[in-house]
A = this chain, B = another copy of it.
Amino acid sequence: MTLASGIHLIADLACTRGLGDAGLIEAALRAAAEAAHVRVLGVNLHHFGPEMGVTGVALLAESHISIHTWPEEGVAAVDVFVCGAQADPDAALAVIAAALGGRVVFRQAVARLGARRGI
C-alpha cells in the first residue's frame, strides 16, 4: 500500500478488435500493470455473453485498472488509478489501446488525494 496520493487516468477508446475476448482483456490488464510498474493483487472479469462486452478490474497494490467494453459499439472505457511516484498510468493505457487496436478519443488525468493541494 502506497501513500494516499495518485493519478487517476480516465480514457475512452474507439477499438477495432478484442472487445468481446475476456482472455485477451485479462492479458491486457496484466500487461498494462507491468508496463505501469504496479503490482497486481488479482484480476476479476465478467463476460456478458457471446458477442457481448467484458467488464474487468485489476486490483493493484497501488489502486486499480478497470475496463468496460461494448463490442456492438466498438468502444471501451478504461481507468487507471495508480498511487506512487514510480507508477506510469499512460504506459498502462498504451498497452490496453494496442491490445484492442484502440484509438484514444477521450483522456483526462485527475489528481487524487495528496496529489492535489489542501488535503
Which of A's residues lie within 8 Å of B, judged by CB?
1, 3-4, 6, 8, 10, 12, 14, 41-42, 44, 46, 48, 52-53, 55, 57, 59-61, 63-64, 66, 68, 70, 73, 75, 77, 79, 81, 83, 105-106, 108, 110, 112-114, 116, 118-119
CB pair B46 A12 closer than 8 Å: no
Minimum CB distance partner of A116 in chain B: B106
CB pair A1 B106 closer than 8 Å: no
Least Cβ distance of A29 to chain B in Å? 12
CB pair B113 A77 closer than 8 Å: yes
Residues of B within 8 A of A118 (CB): 105
CB pair A46 B42 closer than 8 Å: yes
Among A61, A63, A79, the one with the most B-chain Cβ atoms within 10 Å of its Cβ is A79
Give me the 10 closest cross-chain CB pairs, A-B, nearest first: A4-B70, A1-B48, A4-B73, A57-B57, A4-B75, A41-B46, A44-B44, A63-B68, A12-B113, A77-B112
CB pair A108 B105 closer than 8 Å: no
CB pair A42 B44 closer than 8 Å: yes
